[in-house]
Amino acid sequence: AQTVTQSQPEMSVQEAETVTLSCTYDTSESDYYLFWYKQPPSRQMILVIRQEAYKQQNATENRFSVNFQKAAKSFSLKISDSQLGDAAMYFCAYRSAVAGTYKYIFGTGTRLKVLA
């Protein structure tokens, strides 16, 4: 069975600095999707970024980018120019691309604090 591990329960970053959140996963599959979600204090889950495993190019969305290392099964999220509004829980998630599978597997989350 697939697993997703976020080994950093909490991290802090100074405003305007860059921070990287780690995520590793375990799978025997070659095709899958990876996601990062943000959960601010409002509790709403917000999709930050998506990566398809078959794509070598790392996904980027404005100040958010990923470092996808397929062989190492690593999927880290880099937040550049951190802002106070980036303070939230961040969850990494995995979804198989195998036909007939529907489940998503989430990590336990990393709480990011942004210091003014």
Q: If binding means CB under 8 A, how many residues of this protein chain bind another protein? A: 19
Scan residues 31-90 and list those touching another protein (CB under 8 A): 33, 35, 43-45, 47, 50
Q: What residues contact 101, with CB distance under 8 A and at least 6 apart?
A: 95
CA dist 96 and 113 (Å) reads: 31
Look up residue 37 and give its two tokens.
Answer: 């979600």
Q: Give the range of 11-19, 60-68, 69-77, 106-114 binding another protein by CB under 8 A.
A: 106-114
| CB of 50 closer than 8 Å to CB of 77 | no
Q: Does 30 bind another protein (CB under 8 A)?
A: no
List the one residue from 38, 87, 109, 112 that touches another protein (CB under 8 A).
Answer: 109
Handedness of CA 84, 105, 3, 54 (dihedral sign): negative
Look up residue 20 and give its two tokens.
Answer: 């990287």
Closer to another protein by Cβ: residue 29 or 81: 29
Closer to another protein by Cβ: residue 50 or 78: 50
Q: Give 82's Cβ-side CA count (13 Å radius).
A: 22
Q: How far is the CB of 81 from another protein (least distance, A)?
A: 25
Using CB under 8 A, list all residues that contact another protein. Answer: 6, 33, 35, 43-45, 47, 50, 91, 93, 95, 97, 102-104, 106-109
